[in-house]
Structure 1
């Protein structure tokens, strides 16, 4: 189908598990949602990677991306992202090379440097910790499997050598931005993690950018927490279970299933919790369509981002889909800003 006019939109899915649900149900909800997202004209659908986290059913992004590709026809699918320190680059190249062979021109391989889990689970993944520029070395090794050119190499990544998915580097700091720019790769910034650094990171990426065989000019997207409903109050209520879950993660370091809507509605927030939630939600896109439209326009104007990737974590599937519908409507009146470099003060 043709893409709607307006600001380009995509989806980031952490496959959340809520009280009373299960990882199996969360995975099935994700697969059911993807075709609806495609109908709305979104560009891509990425799934994250987390391990030993009962509240997030995203331990195998390659497998899930393949299922999403099979459930859709035009939507780009991929990882947001594969956490490369957990994996041998050859295995990642083989997996995503296979996806690209089966779904040519529709596969994205987003790469992150974080382990996405605790030290005990990281050791169970059988990868030794990398030092210094280990992530940069892994990215270079992985990229080489998609463009074999060393006749002395005894390794052939089948079928990665036949086709290359679109590689993205993910980050939440200027360090990742600089690496993405120097390699001439597109860059995805996690605004939901570090909103205060978004503009600086994208600016640093553009300053660091060097054209490559894969990309001739900078290309960016921002992932952000997005919840849209009929009113600002309704949107905050819909988002409340996720926000309360984030509070628990921060205060007691628990990563259990997210609270239900009923639990969130009955929770009495301390002053510290309320301040934390106001700070978290205040930098994200949570509200009525007009509110979100204004916040999106401001975010695009400040950062020059080329695309928004919406992270919408709500317990009710109908509320989730409705949020994506309302976001698509709100984004029609927002236009991309010409990329520019800001002058440092």
Structure 2
């Protein structure tokens, strides 16, 4: 495989049809324990709302629980969708995490609300065109760097702690440019089904990068949807529920719990649905060890990413961990 890059995990706490959502949250902690023992660099959790299929709705709360069952791995958000939250609340939440788990906290921030318009409004949705100024406010609260006579000059984010490492998240050249302008590390969300443009975004990020208080040179990570099975057939069997949901096969919805692999296998797929599923598999890294190694090599070569973050929606926690274990074994073999 390509020269070793740091490996991390993005956890969504996927919910299986018929299973309690609380089990998905407990499963996230089990994956975190494994990642910590396995020597991975980061364990991030996503933010999704009003979704029956993803139980990760409150990143800071979940990260507090994850920090308590891990020892060395960096814990963070992948990400906090900033338009959903007042910047001061985010700063206070992640400063609290920093006080609890010093030098281990990342704060990945994104622009998308991660939900439907009504839920976004209930969460405190602000216009997207205010995102840049909201980022400035968040950095000001975290760093205590508001200029004289700024309206927030005398507001302090409590408690005092070392600020988290702030990452800009995105899936476009626009987000890459903002990360570069602010001198922040950048994480590209290639794991979205149908995602495009990782290489172009990371190229723009590097070419436009301006050193800042947090970073003197560009540093980029790419997140991929990775299901590494015993063989290609097993991997597709594990990944089918997520693809079934993404494509709406059999009436499955993006906000519904994921069907089981058995249910997905029993579903009648049209030729067109199978063709689309294969296209989604090909974009990501789904297969046995050989196929996954080849696809991750391609992705790292295309993007030149400094780090690789793995994620998937496999609802069986043991199978999810074993999939990640196979990838770690691939990288250890070189």
Is this contact kept in 1: 2:248–2:254, CA < 8 A? yes
Deviant stretches of 4+, over 3 Å: 149-152, 249-254
Give distance in 1, aligned partners of 2:82 and 2:8: 22
Alpha-carbon RMSD: 1.7
Work out which of the residue numbers 129, 133, 144 in structure 2 matches 1:137.
Answer: 133
Measured in 1, the distance between the counterparts of 2:252 and 2:67 equals 37
User: What's the offset of the Cα at 1:37?
Assistant: 1.2
In the TM superposition, what is the alpha-carbon distance from 1:126 to its structure 2 partner?
2.7
What does residue 277 of structure 1 align with? 277
Mapped to 1, the partners of 2:250 and 2:176 lie a distance apart of: 26
Q: How far does residue 233 in structure 1 lie from its aligned partner after superposition?
A: 1.2
Partner-residue secondary structure (3-state), 2:218: coil
The two structures have a TM-score, normalised by structure 1, of 0.91
Taking the aligned partners of 2:260 and 2:269, their CA distance within structure 1 comes to 15
Q: Confirm or deny that 1:190 pairs with 2:186.
A: no
Determine if contact 2:106/2:165 at 8 Å carries over to the other structure: yes
Measure, in 2, the Cα distance between the counterparts of 1:284 and 1:330. 16
Residue 181 of structure 1: aligned partner: 180
Aligned residue pairs: how many?
327
Residue of structure 2 in register with 1:243 after alignment = 243
> Aligned equivalents of 2:76 and 2:249: distance in 1?
27
CA distance in 2, matches of 1:37, 1:162: 25
In structure 1, the gaps of 5 or more residues are 335-345
User: 1:342 corresponds to which residue?
Assistant: none
- Does the 8 Å contact 2:10/2:46 carry over to 1? yes
How far the C-alpha of 1:151 sits from its partner, in A, is: 5.2
Quote the residue 1:221 is aligned against. 221
**Equivalent residues in 2 for 1:89-108, closer than 5 Å:** 89-108=87-106
* CA distance, structure 2, for counterparts of residue 195 and residue 86 of structure 1: 23
Provide the secondary structure at the position in 2 that maps to 1:332. helix
Cα 1:259/1:51, change in 2 over 3 Å: same
Distance 1:183 1:299 in 2: 26
What is the rounded CA distance, in whole Å, between the counterparts of 1:250 and 1:280 in structure 2? 17
Match of 2:66 among 57, 68, 80: 68
Shift of the 181–327 alpha-carbon distance from structure 1 to 2, 3 Å rule, reads same
Report the equivalent of 1:82: 80
* C-alpha deviation, 1:278, in angstroms: 1.2
- Other structure's SS at 1:223 match: strand
Structure 1 residue 281: deviation in Å?
0.9
Deviation of residue 59 (structure 1)? 1.0
TM-score, normalization by structure 2: 0.94
* Structure 2 residues not aligned, in runs of 5+: none
Counterpart for residue 309 of structure 2: 309
Describe the superposition over 1:2-30 as per-residue Cα deviations: whole angstroms up to 9, x where unpaired.
xxx93211001111001121210000111
Query: Does structure 1 retain, via aligned residues, the 8 Å contact 2:83–2:128?
Result: no
Q: Is the 8 A contact 2:249 2:273 kept in 1?
A: no
